[in-house]
Chain A
Amino acid sequence: MTSIDTAGLKTMFDAIAVAIEADKDRLCQLDGVIGDADHGIAMALGFGAVRDALALLDLAATEPTALLNTAAKSFLNAVGASSGPLYATAFMRGAAAVKGKTTLAGADFIALFQAMAQGIQDRGKAEIGEKTMVDAWLPAAQAAAAAHASGKTLSESLAAALQAAERGAEATKEMIAAKGRSSRLGERSLGHMDPGAASAVTVIGAMRKSLG
């Protein structure tokens, strides 16, 4: 039976920071094609700030909700941009979803994961098919919940989430952007993967690896 404590969540955020840092240049290049070429910088800055802020916490005295709120605030204040409010809202909603718990069972983490995706959608007001990170996050959350409901382990559920995120990100190549900066491109955005969806895959991949 999986049980994730605050230390486990910190390890997960550290893993995301490493994965995003390694992926920074590719994300900037994807963004350069249809945006302003800074998505990798913003994501690396944000998760780097989260790593630094979590390192200062006394983990034994910190509940998951407080850790997630610290992550939200540090990400937001380091980044601004679009990814700042989106990921900060994700972490705050995740924090609210596990309020009062000291350790997270598999079902708790699935609830946290779903709240993150919902938070991103609520903050950015994007729908599926508009070529944004929602195209990776929402299918990932649905796949994770469905897998877990059918009796899969957390690790298997997150693997399903990652697959769904990868498919969703791939599908953004065939979409015309309707939200964000690239929406002014019209059909010229066709054929290019949305950088926000691409980084979502990296984030979810690091989460799966860390918690699997």
Chain B
Amino acid sequence: MQTKKIINDGNRTVDEMLEGILAAHPRHLTSAEGSPRSIIARDGPRDGKVGLVIGGGSGHEPTFLGFVGKGLADAAAIGNVFASPPPDPILECAKAASGGAGVLFMYGNYAGDVMNFDMAAEMAAMDDIEVRTVLTTDDVASAPRDQRHKRRGVAGNFFIFKAAGAACDRMLSFDECERIARKANDHTFTMGVALSPCSLPQTRRPNFEIGPDEMEIGMGIHGEPGIARGKLKTADEITDEMLDKIVDEMAPARGDKVAVLVNSLGSTPLMELYIMNRRVKRRLGDIGVSVHATWVGNYCTSLEMAGASVTLMHLDDELQTMLDHPCDCAMFRAG
């Protein structure tokens, strides 16, 4: 049986979505001339500023294009659903974002994205645009601790892009922007849980099977299987299970500060996210960690998947300053 979706044509979903987004946010967003899959901030790129280009597959909205705007990313390259964009739209983003001070490519660590963005970086070099790449690897569940470089980038992207975008907006040097981007990634940890599958618009079939009373801890944002499947537990038990892993890796001292993101994978409602956040706050309080800022909602989704993720960013003064730095994007504002 096919899943229900409000679409016209499964092959046209990305382009029709982009048309709707540009119609909704004309003050923030435009597309590059002749490259509709390159979404550019109207007020972002400028001379002397390091450009920030993000991107990846569609289906994770508001990631990636919702974070394009002044103070955050200058451009986002948009792929098909769950598929990396090809090099051409990435290259057009790099050209639009370039202010002569270098361009950072930041995206989740997936084999397809790495190949396409690397090809685009080689093409940009031929146009005399220097590109450096910082991959996001915040998904604690996706590889062991000693193989952090193999981990996926998931909802923690939001914090990592935010910190890097602020560094760029403050006109820091290319080296500094890159350093802060890497540090932001190193300080960010995410764990997710999935309750029910999503379905691609082209197939409208659930992309994995899961029992009516089951959950899967650590499932990826494309429905990649996670690390453990079990009976559905309570919100507090699920939150504890995820927090335990995150805190164990982050190893915060009493008195440390974090930023919290409780994110829906698509169809899990705010009510459930806030129930989880209540537990996050309480558990962090128990270990003497204070919460500097909290975001709750749809930040990195997986189409209509049910489930949620918890992300903590371990703050120091520098990262806190970057998170507090104002930004004005189509789907996110701060400061």
Assuming the contacts A37-B207, A81-B80, A85-B119, asked whether A76 and B87 have C-beta atoms less than 8 A apart, the reply is yes
Number of A-B contacts (CB under 8 A): 101
Residues of chain B within 8 A (CB-CB) of A180 are 111
CA distance A145 to B227 in the complex (A): 42
- B301 in the interface (beta carbon within 8 A): no
Interface readout for A67-110 with B: 1 if CB under 8 Å, 0 if not? 00000000011111111111000000000000000000000000
Are B203 and A37 in contact, CB atoms less than 8 angstroms apart? yes
Are A184 and B142 in contact, CB atoms less than 8 angstroms apart? yes
- A28 in the interface (beta carbon within 8 A): yes
B interface secondary structure, majority: loop
Query: Which segment of B25-33, B216-224, B289-297 sits at the interface?
Result: B216-224
- B82 in the interface (beta carbon within 8 A): yes
Interface readout for B154-193 with A: 1 if CB under 8 Å, 0 if not? 0000000000000000000000000000000000000000
Are B208 and A184 in contact, CB atoms less than 8 angstroms apart? no
CA distance A71 to B81 in the complex (A): 22
Q: Which residues of A are at the interface with B, using a C-beta cutoff of 8 A? A: 25, 28, 32, 34-38, 41-42, 45, 76-86, 123-124, 179-185, 188
Could you name 29 residue pairs across A and B whose Cβ atoms are closer than 8 Å?
A: A28-B200, A28-B205, A32-B208, A35-B224, A36-B82, A36-B224, A37-B205, A38-B81, A38-B83, A41-B80, A45-B11, A76-B88, A77-B86, A77-B88, A80-B85, A80-B86, A80-B116, A81-B79, A81-B112, A84-B86, A85-B116, A85-B119, A86-B115, A179-B111, A181-B111, A181-B222, A184-B142, A184-B150, A184-B220
The 9 closest A-B pairs by CB, nearest first: A36-B222, A82-B112, A81-B83, A85-B115, A37-B207, A80-B86, A80-B84, A81-B112, A184-B142
